[in-house]
Structure 1
Amino acid sequence: MPATLTGRAAILRETGIKTVLETIPVRKQPSELLPGECIVKLEYSGVCHSDLHFMLGEFAPPELPCIGGHEGVGHIVAIGEHTVGSRFGVGDRVGVTLYLQTCMACEFCRSGKEQYCLNFKLLGIGEWGTFSEYVVAHVDYLASIPDTMPSAVAAPILCAGVTVYSALKNGQSNVGEWIAISGAGGGLGHLAIQYALAMGLRVIAIDTGEQKKNVCIALGAEKWIDFKESSDVVADVRSAADGVGPHVALIATGTNLPYVQASLYLRPTGRLLCVGLPSSPVNGLLLTSIAVRGIKLIGSTFGNRQEMVEALALVARGKIKPHFEVIPHDKINTVLEQMHMGELVGRVVLKY
């Protein structure tokens, strides 16, 4: 290795969606790594809508300068001295995910819900993320990529895939039930369609545009509703699900209206899976209607390490096929602008 390891990075220096490409030293050099830490040289990184939220300061002001991204696939080039019991070694191909580290001691970590740990460190939020050629991670939180899976295919599963898989797995669904997926043609939504089908659910896809419609139908959605063409989305969704409404709704878009609509079209005792992250309070939720019909609101974020294994395994078996486009890393600003405008179909994966 060179005396100082450097790589190209897309750096955010001011709040917004414009990054600056620079060659910079890795945040920690190999000799500076603590036990358990490692450096991964990335081949690919997915681009997540939550990256955009944080870059725009919609959740909290970003700590500048920063580097976003948390869906990286690459090879380990260095591991901290005195690391003990690692599953991985130098040269191994791994996935780098949102959770850089959790305490592994609190009730949430002990019960397999480490994504709700109160003492976590997140990649791309505070800690520099995968929009860089090199990233510092922790060996305990790396994902093992099945040998038969191409790196670009694995990248979208490391956040988008495991997030919707975890929500569906914990959504108390039964085989044969109807599920409505808002944002079905997007990065999370098109994967939610496939994981829902793998669990035996019947899918109503909600999105807009002919291209997204074609993708959703090709993936196996039974019903399609274009929210821009529909004069009454609530009535149309109810009609598509036996006239009563779906048993489950999964919101895979970060806007408010789909949450309000879902609370109205779900059948009694239906479950509303809250996955998409609106940047402002959701006005219009009628709590009386939710209460008298027994609607359950179920929040879900990311997934635990076992769910990561399961989500990747379904891809390796050919049950899930991410729909994505590979774009050069230096085109990241164009990708972010398209995402902000809602123009992306499926997922974008950056190539280094």
Structure 2
Amino acid sequence: MTTPSTMFAAVYHPGNDRLVLNKNYPLRDLKDNEILLKVAAAGVCHTDVGLLSGVTLDTRQYIVGHEASGIPVKLGAKVNGQTVQIGKLYSILTVDSCVHGLKGGPVLLNSLGIGRDGAYAEYIITTADTLVPVPEGVPVEVAAIASDAGVTAYHAVQHAAKVKRGDKVLIFGIGGLGHLAVQYAKHFGATVYACDFKPAARKLALELGATEAFDLIELTNKTAAGFTVDTTIDFISNNQTFNLAMAALRGNDVNFPSSPKCVLVGVSAENLVFSTLDIITSGVQIVGSTYGQRDDLVTVLDLFSKGTIRPHVHAEPLEHINRVIDELRAFEITGRKVVIPHLTV
């Protein structure tokens, strides 16, 4: 293949609250251990909203997009052609085994599409350890969201919350991750409840197997009347959802070490306030959950391919990326949106 020297890309410029669409972004040469992939699809995540809102205070300029699938079109000189196949579809892990934080900073702020060139482009460069083969029958847009939304929600349910049969689980935020978490928790045998201020999101949660879906006022009244759960998983993580989660967890009979769990996945600009005495006496464990492992992505893709988990995904052309991010800012998206280079709609 003749490698182009430039490509279309959506680029983060520090201080700009919109991505800059560059039709001639330079495509650098491959290193010996690297792979050039044609981007098949890239998911749009609330992390991108935070980035453009200045949450990370990043001073670097780079292509955004950390949730992607792609097809290898060129291999570096030291890449094993038996391990990575030209023309095959792969999901791309956001964090590889070589990523480290700069100057002691968080690893996730120096990862694919968050500090380094990502997938809002026609091509992406990565290494073999980030690539997981996609089973037959999984669409490119579903393969893309598996790499972050799929993995992050799975890790929160399976590893952080350790959801098991018979558990009562309350999930806050039925968006790109939350709608998958509802299905994972059901898959592991839990009774699932959902909370979201959007009627469309609550409707989706019920369609996906939630027993009940509440808005914030309904849940406040429900917990005041004695409603409790074993576990909460919060994809919003602001003071309102945290306090509602604690209210739903406090009423449980504590049987150590099987304590109620409050799992935090979402990122907000708010500082959560709680009493240590409250935490100790109620027995509630507050657990953070971030991303997942390669094996998690393999499992997620298998669940997607079998139809056990049904992602709700909508595709837009990459040229519409700023409009999609605006929709995400305004909480107008139900499920997950992806962007595809040169998609015609």
Which of these residues, 51, 54, 65, is aligned with residue 54 of structure 1? 51
Q: Distance in 2 between matches of 1:335 and 1:255?
A: 23
Corresponding residue number in structure 2 for 1:36: 33
**Equivalent position of 1:69 in the other structure:** 65
Structure 1 SS opposite 2:292: coil
Residue in structure 1 matched with residue 222 of structure 2 by the alignment: 236
Corresponding residue number in structure 2 for 1:111:
none
Contact 2:42 2:67 in 1 (8 A): yes
Per-residue CA deviation, residues 285-328 of structure 1 (Å, 9 max, x unaligned), is 23221110111111111100011111111111111111121111
Tell me whether 1:262 sits opposite 2:262 in the alignment: no
**1:110 counterpart residue number:** none
Cα distance between partner residues in 2 of 1:118 and 1:13: 20
Query: What corresponds to 1:128 in structure 2?
Result: 117
Partner amino acid, structure 2, of 1:317: K
C-alpha deviation, 1:34, in angstroms: 2.2
User: Could you tell me the TM-score, scaled by structure 2's length?
Assistant: 0.88
Alignment gaps of 5+ in structure 2: 101-105
2:264 aligned to which of 260, 274, 278? 274
Between Structure 1 and Structure 2, how many residues are aligned? 329
CA distance in 2, matches of 1:77, 1:179: 43
Relative distance call for 1:26 and 1:134 in structure 2 (3 A) is farther
CA gap of 1:207–1:337, structure 2 versus 1, over 3 A, is same
Q: CA deviation at 1:92?
A: 2.0
Question: What residue number does 1:91 align with?
Answer: 87
Return the alpha-carbon distance in structure 2 between the equivalents of residues 334 and 118 of structure 1. 29
Task: Tell me the CA shift for residue 342 of structure 1.
Answer: 1.5
Instruction: Kindly state the Cα deviation for residue 26 of structure 1 after the two structures are TM-superposed.
Output: 4.6
Secondary structure in 2 aligned to 1:88?
A: coil
CA distance in 1, matches of 2:69, 2:108: 25
**1:186-201 equivalent positions in 2, closer than 5 A:** 186-201=175-190
Kept in 2, the 8 Å contact 1:36–1:140? The answer is no
Instruction: Please tell me whether the aligned partners of residues 184 and 309 of structure 2 are also in contact (alpha carbons under 8 angstroms).
Output: yes
Conservation of the 8 A alpha-carbon contact between 2:5 and 2:27: no
Relative to structure 2, which stretch is displaced further, 188-197 or 284-293?
284-293
Q: Choose the corresponding residue for 2:210, options 221, 232, 238.
A: 221
In the alignment, what sits opposite 1:178?
168
Q: RMSD across aligned C-alpha pairs, in angstroms?
A: 2.3
1:82-114 deviation line (CA, Å, top 9, x unaligned) = 22486212222111231144379xxxxxxxxxx
Structure 2 counterpart of 1:145: 134
Secondary structure at the residue paired with 2:62? coil
Partner residue of 2:228? 245
**2:8–2:24: 8 Å Cα contact kept in structure 1?**
yes
Say whether the 8 Å CA contact 1:204–1:237 is kept in structure 2.
Answer: no
Distance 1:36 1:89 in 2: 14
The letter for the 2-side match of 1:178 is K
**Partner-residue secondary structure (3-state), 2:63:** coil
Shift of 1:254: 4.9
Distance 2:108 2:326 in 1: 33
Equivalent position SS for 2:79: coil
Query: Partner of 2:103 in structure 1?
Result: none
Query: Counterpart of 1:236 in structure 2: which amino acid?
Result: K
Distance (whole Å) between structure 2 residues aligned to residue 257 and residue 27 of structure 1: 45
Q: Structure 1 regions of 5+ residues with no counterpart?
A: 105-116
Give, as a single letter, the amino acid of the residue that structure 1 aligns with 2:43: G
Residue equivalent to 1:113: none
* CA spacing shift, 1:95–1:210, aligned 2, 3 Å: same
